[in-house]
């Protein structure tokens, strides 16, 4: 595979990112002057970013760099230092990261909300308060075989330096969860954050590294590119010291990473669907949909995005949503909201399709209601409306606290339509039912990484359900919910001389 990323693809990525931020893009495919990103020099061979900095990082950076090459070398040095400290050193780093995060949940949540302008403060804080659910070195138990032909031991070895891309939706939580998993595996990491959340990522990384340096003397285990650009993304993808890429983001950046020539672990898009059948506890189902779809204004990749309800319980389910506090939009109000929450884009073949207006991603229910010409209580956390299966709110990953409710004839039809709307991302699906046969049928048909039965989406990541947490759910490349094992290589040691004592 070529190690040169297709330039047209990358140009499309940066144009999309900068368009999301409302920033102009030059014809060369880099941020235009005045866009808030400093001009960058062209890449030079061997992974250098072309700057005049030497490969070694000076003291006092604490992981925050402008230069990819310097960051990569600093991370490599830190990886080697961590390697000398063994599992005990890794465990100490994880303890430090979790402790520093716990001490800063409120201030970091406020900082990220102010920087990105999306989501809810209480949930920004909540996402940082649950880092104890991210697994550590305990996941890396060796596997041993002993037989007549000797002894074999398989262990989980680090890659070295990981290159990682962060989303704007959960900048600090994704960075923190990734750090715990990756360092547990023995790696260092260089992050290229989304430009819209770069300050938040740099803030957290700097504080983590300060604390790690104070305790262990390792200053740059967690590196962040302070002013991320298309060029810095490409440099990370090409750099000789970056062993593997980990992407948490949308389809464009995932596609670009998968053509970089390096192995890529990709947490890509999803459009999680819900089915409510005639046997469901409708009150509990309505409460679960509100809890999941309203979390951080539906920014979670696992969040409920569309609900398919069988006709026989449809009216009662809609009433249950209202009784639970959700705000119901009329058909006219839904279409008024849709006209501003989506735009039409030419697909290049003469046809157009709906594209989410990024100004409404993570917006509050009150803002969406105002755009729809509706008014609800200040306590309303979620809007809902009846829609058909082809509606943009059903077919697009919209990431807003407005859930379309689709009436369907029967359970089989609900699953069929849900599967189409999920677009075979194989990300997440949810069912509300007491019929075990229905649960089994939908689980097999959807074949998603996460399948939740009779609970909100967040139960799929251990919040109200059993399990562990990760903010990188690698559906595109199939690794699933990432753990420390995800970021390791299996190494086998074989001793032929038989040392068995039995």
**Predicted confidence (pLDDT) per residue in 378-409, tens digit:** 999 999 999 999 999 999 999 999 999 999 99
**Does residue 302 have a pLDDT over 70?**
yes
What pLDDT, on a 0 to 100 scale, did the predictor assign at position 253?
83
- Mean per-residue pLDDT for 82-107? 98
Domain 273-465 coded CATH 3.40.309.10: yes
Lowest mean pLDDT: which of 9-23, 71-85, 106-120, 467-481? Answer: 9-23
**Does residue 249 have a pLDDT over 90?**
no
Task: Give pLDDT tens digits for 22-58.
Answer: 444 433 333 333 333 332 333 333 444 545 344 454 4
Walk across the sheet containing 64-65 and list its strands: 64-65, 222-225, 188-192, 161-165, 242-248, 264-267
What pLDDT, on a 0 to 100 scale, did the predictor assign at position 22?
41
**Does residue 187 have a pLDDT over 50?**
yes
Strands of 201-300 (E only): list them.
222-225, 242-248, 264-267, 273-276
Residue whose tokens read 């962060």: 166
Lowest mean pLDDT: which of 154-158, 268-272, 446-450? Answer: 268-272
Round to whole Å and give the CA distance between 486 and 104.
27
Residue whose tokens read 């303890």: 95
Lowest mean pLDDT: which of 11-25, 96-110, 173-187? Answer: 11-25
7-268+483-488 and 273-465: identical CATH topology? no
Give the length of the chain. Answer: 502
Round to whole Å and give the CA distance between 454 and 154.
39
- Mean per-residue pLDDT for 239-243? 97
More confident residue, 230 or 385: 385
Name the residue ranges covered by the structural domains of the chain: 7-268+483-488, 273-465
Q: In the structure, what pLDDT confidence band is assigned to residue 182 with cuts at 50, 70 and 90? A: very high
Round to whole Å and give the CA distance between 249 and 500.
49
Q: Report helix angle 411-422 to 436-446, nearest 10.
A: 30
What pLDDT, on a 0 to 100 scale, did the predictor assign at position 59?
52
Question: pTM for the complete prediction?
Answer: 0.88
Q: What are 264's strand-pairing partners?
A: 245
Q: In the structure, what pLDDT confidence band is assigned to residue 295 with cuts at 50, 70 and 90? A: very high
What pLDDT, on a 0 to 100 scale, did the predictor assign at position 414?
98
Q: In the structure, what pLDDT confidence band is assigned to residue 115 with cuts at 50, 70 and 90? A: very high
Round to whole Å and give the CA distance between 483 and 234.
26
Q: What are 327's strand-pairing partners?
A: 383
Query: What SS3 state is found at 334?
Result: helix
Q: In the structure, what pLDDT confidence band is assigned to residue 257 with cuts at 50, 70 and 90? A: confident
Q: In the structure, what pLDDT confidence band is assigned to residue 290 with cuts at 50, 70 and 90? A: very high
CATH number of 7-268+483-488: 3.40.605.10
Token couple for 347: 């697909």
What pLDDT, on a 0 to 100 scale, did the predictor assign at position 51?
54
Burial of 261 (0-12, 13-18, 19+ CB in 10 A): middle
Task: Give pLDDT tens digits for 307-363.
Answer: 999 999 999 999 999 999 999 999 999 999 999 999 988 777 777 789 999 999 999
Strands of 94-231 (E only): list them.
143-147, 150-158, 161-165, 188-192, 222-225
Using alpha carbons, list the distances in angstroms from residue 60 to 48, 65, 78, 166.
21, 11, 14, 24
Percentage of the chain lying above the pLDDT 70 cut: 88
Q: In the structure, what pLDDT confidence band is assigned to residue 61 with cuts at 50, 70 and 90? A: confident
Kindly report the average pLDDT of the chain as a whole number: 89
What pLDDT, on a 0 to 100 scale, did the predictor assign at position 8?
52
What pLDDT, on a 0 to 100 scale, did the predictor assign at position 494?
95
């Amino acid at each position: 595979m070529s190690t040169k990323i297709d330039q047209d693809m990358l140009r499309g990525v940066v144009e999309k990112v900068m368009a999301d931020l409302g920033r102009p893009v030059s014809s060369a495919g880099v941020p235009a002057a005045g866009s808030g990103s400093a001009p960058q020099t062209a890449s030079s061979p061997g992974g250098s970013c072309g700057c005049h900095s030497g490969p070694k990082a000076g003291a006092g950076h604490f992981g925050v760099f402008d230069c990819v090459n310097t960051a990569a070398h600093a991370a490599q040095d830190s990886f080697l230092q961590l390697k000398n400290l063994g599992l005990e050193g890794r465990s100490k780093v994880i303890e430090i990261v979790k402790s520093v995060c716990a001490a800063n949940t409120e201030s970091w949540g406020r900082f990220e909300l102010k920087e990105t302008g999306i989501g809810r403060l209480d949930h920004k804080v909540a996402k940082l308060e649950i880092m104890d659910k991210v697994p550590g070195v305990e996941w890396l138990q060796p596997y041993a075989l002993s037989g007549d032909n000797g002894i074999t031991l398989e262990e989980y070895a680090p890659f070295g330096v990981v290159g990682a891309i962060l989303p704007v939706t959960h900048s600090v939580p994704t960075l923190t969860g990734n750090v715990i998993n990756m360092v547990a595996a023995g790696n260092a990491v260089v992050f290229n954050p989304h430009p819209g959340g770069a300050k938040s990522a740099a803030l957290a990384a700097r504080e983590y590294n300060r604390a790690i340096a104070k305790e262990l003397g390792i200053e740059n285990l967690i590196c962040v590119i302070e002013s991320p650009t298309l060029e810095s993304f490409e440099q990370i993808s090409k750099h000789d010291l970056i062993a593997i890429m980990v992407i948490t983001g949308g389809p464009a950046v995932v596609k670009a990473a998968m053509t970089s020539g390096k192995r890529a672990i990709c947490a890509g898009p999803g459009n999680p669907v819900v089915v409510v059948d005639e046997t469901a506890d409708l009150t509990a189902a309505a409460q679960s949909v509100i809890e999941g779809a309203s979390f951080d204004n539906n920014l979670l990749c696992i969040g409920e995005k569309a609900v398919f309800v069988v006709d026989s319980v449809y009216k009662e389910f809609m009433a249950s949503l209202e009784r639970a506090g959700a705000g119901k939009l009329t058909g006219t109000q839904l279409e008024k909201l849709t006209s501003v929450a989506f735009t039409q884009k030419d697909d290049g073949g003469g046809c157009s399709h709906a594209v989410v207006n990024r100004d409404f991603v993570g917006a509050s229910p009150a803002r969406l209601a105002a755009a729809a010409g509706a008014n609800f209580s200040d306590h309303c956390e979620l809007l809902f409306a009846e829609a058909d299966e082809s509606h943009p709110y059903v077919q697009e990953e919209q990431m807003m606290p407005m859930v379309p409710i689709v009436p369907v004839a029967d359970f089989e039809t609900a699953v069929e339509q849900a599967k189409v709307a999920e677009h075979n991302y194989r990300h997440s699906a949810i069912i509300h039912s007491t019929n075990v046969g229905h649960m089994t049928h939908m689980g097999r048909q959807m074949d998603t990484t996460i399948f939740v039965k009779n609970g909100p989406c967040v139960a799929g990541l251990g919040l109200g359900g059993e399990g562990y947490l990760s903010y990188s759910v690698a559906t595109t490349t199939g690794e699933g919910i990432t753990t420390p094992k995800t970021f390791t290589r299996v190494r086998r040691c074989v001793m032929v001389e038989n040392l068995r004592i039995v």
